[in-house]
Amino acid sequence: MTGTVQTQNVDWDAAYTLDTRGQACPQPLLAMRRALGELPAGTLLRVLATDPGSWRDFHSYAELSRRPLLRAEQRGGVFSYWIRRDN
């Protein structure tokens, strides 16, 4: 990924949450792309997923689209991804 992403002072809990738990790849990624197209510019989106393949998919998408993945984590079998809707 190129460039630096500023994540200081981000209110992670205020993100719009898209719950794709239980959906198999590529559904979480497709749902994320659909949501980004519908949300207002600047909206922080958090995607919840349970498919382990989503880790690879979301990181690949960020790299290929040059849309930074601001945060990604796994806790108890649930993957969370934060991405901001750009202009």
60: phi then psi, degrees, rounded to nearest 5? -65, -45
3-class DSSP assignment, residue 53: helix
Q: Which of 10, 17, 23, 25 is catalytic?
A: 25
Active site residue 25: yes
3-class DSSP assignment, residue 10: coil
- Cβ partners under 8 Å of residue 11, min gap 6: 44
Asked if the bond preceding 26 is cis, omega within 30° of 0, the reply is yes
Active site residues: 25
